[in-house]
Amino acid sequence: MDKESILRLELDHVKNIDFDKSIESYDPTTNNHIIFLELKKDVYYVCPHCGTIDIHKPRSTVLQTIKHSSATEDNIIIKFKRRVLLCSCGHSFREPNPFNTSKKRMSYHKETKILFALKDINKSYKDIAIEFDVSPTTISKIFDSKVNIPRQYLTEVLSVDEVYSKHCGFHKYCFIIYSPQQDKILDVLPSRHKEYLIDYFSRIPRNERKKVKYFSIDLYEVYRQVAKQCFPNALICADHFHVIKNLSTFFNSARIRIMKKYEHLKPSDDNFYWLYKKYWKLLLKNPEKLGYKKFKVARSRMHMDEHQIVEYMLYIDPQLRTAYELMNEYKSFNSSVTIEDAEERLDELMIKFLHSPLTEFHKFYRLLKNWRQEIINSFNKINGHIISNGGMERANRDIKTIIRHAFGYRNFGRLRNRIMYIKNKDVAIKI
């Protein structure tokens, strides 16, 4: 093999290779490229016993095998004779492994490629093991030895949420701490229980916790209690997405109740029931996003676009129209309100929900009443953006993908590190 071929395999960093004596072969049964290398003999080594720097006498040799990867080829086997050297002090030692630490049977470059592959959200440890022709245990050991991410420093704005993790063998939910300002996961915890969270945050220095000004949560009471106890200077903010999600749930309950009124009608009489059953998602869609392309309506001879179908459903039942208009009024409030008029406009809407003829919206009124101040707080702006868990929700989708592709995790520390390793761009690894 010529020197240029060796360089293409990223072996040029190994300075003591005798390139002129290198031999390459190929094993078709294993699809491995095998390279026989010889190391230069006129190299000075330090005796680990006495510290003497010298060209020590060879005593014997040991054939060593190293798994290697290049930019274009993953299945490379390097074989070289590693000499046992005799020092003048009477002790013998093996010459250093030029491709990795003494006991490793994998090159630095292959480890680096494996660590890069572990950044892929869609790859499990098993997938990567197959790709690099090693065992999943080896992949796990490399990751655990190189990646151990400490808790990240708390920022001015914090978002918290949970991810279902029961099939990972831990508590039912993992607790995620996220910084919207840095688009970064600060930590992942194995439990969302109140006592656990208070104990965790209490161990963080109080001066650091006092710098948190906004604490964004979903409508889970435990998080509010934890925030009040652990973050004395923080305004607690109710995430808009979860408020709208609850509103949509209450509206859908009303829609189902109204739909069942027409369940007894035969298709020959009218298709009201089927309209409410099949096209209910159109009612949750923002009116400005409804399409104008006409299509055949199911179980009818009519051709209508999305706007017309929605209008027809609202025409059928006045109560549904009331619910629809009130729901969209809150959505409009949510997208247009400012911190200056949030309190007044929210109170006006709360009165409308209270006096609504729909019992489902009375429940939503109680939710607004319970979380009134936190909803108002969420309309504060940081760098021109209102406070929300939008970035947190995107991170959660990725976390769910990580868990799903791995078919669960037995080691929580490994799961935590993998999540933060993938999602955070500035993660340092051990060399």
The answer, yes or no, to whether residue 12 has pLDDT greater than 70, is no
In this structure, CATH architecture of domain 157-239+384-423: 2-Layer Sandwich (3.30)
pLDDT band (50, 70, 90) for residue 188? very high
> pLDDT value at position 1?
47
Instruction: Report the predicted TM-score, pTM, of the whole model to 2 decimal places.
Output: 0.83
Q: What are the structural domain ranges in the chain? A: 3-107, 157-239+384-423, 242-377
Lowest pLDDT segment from 97-106, 212-221, 237-246: 97-106
pLDDT band (50, 70, 90) for residue 3? very low
Quick one: average pLDDT of 8-25?
A: 66
Lowest pLDDT segment from 24-28, 278-282, 320-324: 24-28
**CA dist 407 to 123, 137, 170, 232, 284, Å?**
11, 15, 14, 40, 33
d(CA 315, CA 321): 7
Q: Which of 52-56, 169-173, 196-200 has the highest mean pLDDT?
A: 196-200
> pLDDT value at position 194?
95
Tokens in use for 167? Answer: 């099939």
> pLDDT value at position 217?
95
- State the CB neighbour count (10 A cutoff) for residue 348: 11
